[in-house]
Structure 1
């Protein structure tokens, strides 16, 4: 038992250290949680289909699942069905992984569970920290994911920005070139607040898509815990009644 507790403590310390290192690497802004807002999820689905589904697949997600956020088959066909002609098909793209790797240096990941892998805060911050970098093949770079192969697909909405850098020396004497802010070069079709709002919708949709049944699972879990609590109470009283005459 002591050995098991020691292993668990070491594992917890390792995970905590990893989390601290990630937080020290870059500040992640807290993503608004709108997974219970159907209108927000619908806006996020529209952004996802128009801007993300060109390169990224979501092969574990079918268009019919969008019924859960209040969309009908007709609405899906009229507004969101561009990569296929059947509502029952999964969200896949025609681009071959080999071509994507040649064009971008790496094949774009499937986004079915990307939010569960990265976290909502990571995605929310990532989509808001692109900046113009002519040294990169795509012309874009990112503060959260340096030297990323993905271009800034939402640049028309956010506009073009450049990064402000500051040099600092760490304890070992190495000079660190870090980003301290951004400067707007050309405006986008959205204001800064509207763009952040749109990214929040898209992030919430990606979180919802990672586990569409999360709400039902949590509700069911609450009922299961309540049932187990009542069962434990009756088992405790039954045990007391069974042993009351035995000393």
Structure 2
């Protein structure tokens, strides 16, 4: 219980920091088709354990739940398990919280429900935020980690996917501030690629979509089943409504 409370408090704290630090950056739309693509979710799980699980845990997600993605226990053990030997264990991380605080300025939050906790009514879903965030890193030598992020300025987390995306810098142009006469402001004008990554930009965006899709699925593994079941329930209720309406008409037709 104490662990759950700590995780929730950390998540709320970081959410507040995000809300306070976002400079009105528009969120890109996450391709929701990824949520029903099993191959995409499998690749997202692979990316998650290779790049995210080094620092972040998913303490409310068990490895054996990945069987819902059509993976066998042998496939899970051989390809996705590095910190434990039991397929029934949760996705824990071996990183010492004290070391994490020294390195990053805070304990990396648990990611089990990260996609659900980042939703913003005015901007989009949590998946939209994560999809934008993981594609908005750029080099910034003024920061301790050497990285910055448009969606989360002064972020403490370095760009763990930089080998896939390559290194970029952000370009800004100076222009007159429409709200303050005589003052200027800097407007983001795009990224400039410094070094190539292992993937092209299109491939990288697709890989990030796979990863975000998995994190969205992980927050509620039964969501696809729930949606399918909901459709059948609505169809049943629609048919039942017509039947009930006709039965009611037949019952009262001879009563005046």
TM-score range for the pair, normalised by the shorter chain length:
0.7 to 0.9
TM-score for both structures, normalised by structure 2: 0.80
Residues 223 and 145 of structure 1, relative CA distance in 2, 3 Å threshold:
same
Q: Is the 8 Å Cα contact of residues 61 and 90 (structure 1) preserved in structure 2?
A: yes
Q: CA deviation at 1:195?
A: 1.6
Runs of 4+ in 1 over 4 A off after TM superposition: none
Q: CA deviation at 1:23?
A: 10
Q: CA deviation at 1:36?
A: 1.9
Q: CA deviation at 1:27?
A: 2.6
Q: Is the 8 Å Cα contact of residues 143 and 179 (structure 1) preserved in structure 2?
A: no
3-state secondary structure, aligned to 2:207? helix
Q: Is the 8 Å Cα contact of residues 22 and 152 (structure 2) preserved in structure 1?
A: no
Q: CA deviation at 1:52?
A: 0.4
Q: Following superposition of structure 1 onto structure 2, how do residues 29-178 of structure 1 map, counting pairs within 5 Å?
A: 29-32=28-31, 33-118=33-118, 119-168=126-175, 169-173=177-181, 175-178=184-187
Q: Is the 8 Å Cα contact of residues 133 and 141 (structure 1) preserved in structure 2?
A: yes
Aligned twin of 1:217: 226
Which runs of 5 or more structure 2 residues have no equivalent in the other structure?
1-20, 119-125
Q: When the two structures are aligned, how many residues end up with a matched partner?
A: 226
Q: Distance in 2 between matches of 1:108 and 1:24?
A: 22
Aligned twin of 2:25: 26
Q: Is the 8 Å Cα contact of residues 164 and 183 (structure 1) preserved in structure 2?
A: yes
Aligned Cα root-mean-square deviation (Å):
2.2
User: Residues 11-55 of structure 1, C-alpha deviation per residue, up to 9 Å, x if partnerless?
Assistant: xxxxxxxxxxx9991132222231222222111111110100111
